Amino acid sequence: MRDRTESLRVLAHLFNGRAAQDTEIFQSRPGNRIRLRIINAAGDTAYRVGVPGHKIALTHKDGFPVQHQDVDAVVLGMGERIDAILTGQDGYTPLLAISEEKDGRACGLIRTGRGTAPVAATLPSTLDRIVTDGGRLTADDSVLPSSKKPDRIHTRRLTGSMETTAGAPMGAVST
């Protein structure tokens, strides 16, 4: 007979290794530009990440510069990384990661002044309005190939055993 605990599966959504009950709080000042490096380390969950009521400016995808885009949220696939800039507001600012396919979310807080930290249960359960994903971002001009002509061109012809020479397969011996 199978042990009942074998079929028990615990699903945890973490923010910097912490569950929502143990929310991490980052310190900053109002008006500071805060760089967010958002990494989806999940193996089977896409997340919609954003800051309720604030725009984030997307700047990099997987380490490469992209044309900046201001959005309310970005969807990250498994293993994807997005860098974004957020301007800190006075008080507490929640950063949410909401699962796209499953129930659950993770969150962190940015504290820039006075006030009371919001209770996780009172935070929005959706992030919408302007939402994009990494596949819709365009590479920044600084990383595009140059239009300069090459200094040299080397032509190489790759051949294989199926190519024929004068009607006979390559490597065939004529007698």
* pLDDT tens-digit map of 124-146: 888 989 999 999 999 999 888 87
Helices vs strands, H then E, count in the chain: 0, 12
Q: Is the pTM of this model over 0.85?
A: no
First to last CA, the chain: 75
Mean pLDDT for the stretch of residues 25-32: 93
Distance (Å) of CA 121 to CA 4, 23, 117: 31, 12, 12
Contact 96/51 with Cβ under 8 angstroms?
yes
Mean pLDDT for the stretch of residues 33-51: 93
Q: What is the per-residue pLDDT for 69?
A: 96
Which has the higher per-residue pLDDT, 53 or 160?
53
Contact 24/93 with Cβ under 8 angstroms?
no
Which of 10-14, 42-46, 53-57 shows the highest mean pLDDT?
53-57
Q: Is 104 exposed, middle or buried (0-12, 13-18, 19+ CB in 10 A)?
A: middle
Q: Could you report the per-residue pLDDT of 66-113, keeping only the tens digit for each?
A: 999 999 999 999 999 999 999 998 999 999 999 998 888 889 999 998
State both tokens at 85. 């800039």
Q: Three-class SS of residue 61?
A: strand
Q: What is the per-residue pLDDT for 77?
A: 94
For the chain, what percent of residues have pLDDT higher than 70?
Answer: 85
Distance (Å) of CA 139 to CA 2, 59, 145: 52, 10, 11
Sequence letter at residue 11: L
What is the average pLDDT value for the chain, to the nearest integer?
85
Nearest to 131 by CA among 58, 44, 41: 58
Euclidean distance between CA atoms 72 and 129, whole angstroms = 6
- Domains of the chain, first to last: 27-139 (2.60.40.420)
Mean pLDDT for the stretch of residues 155-163: 72
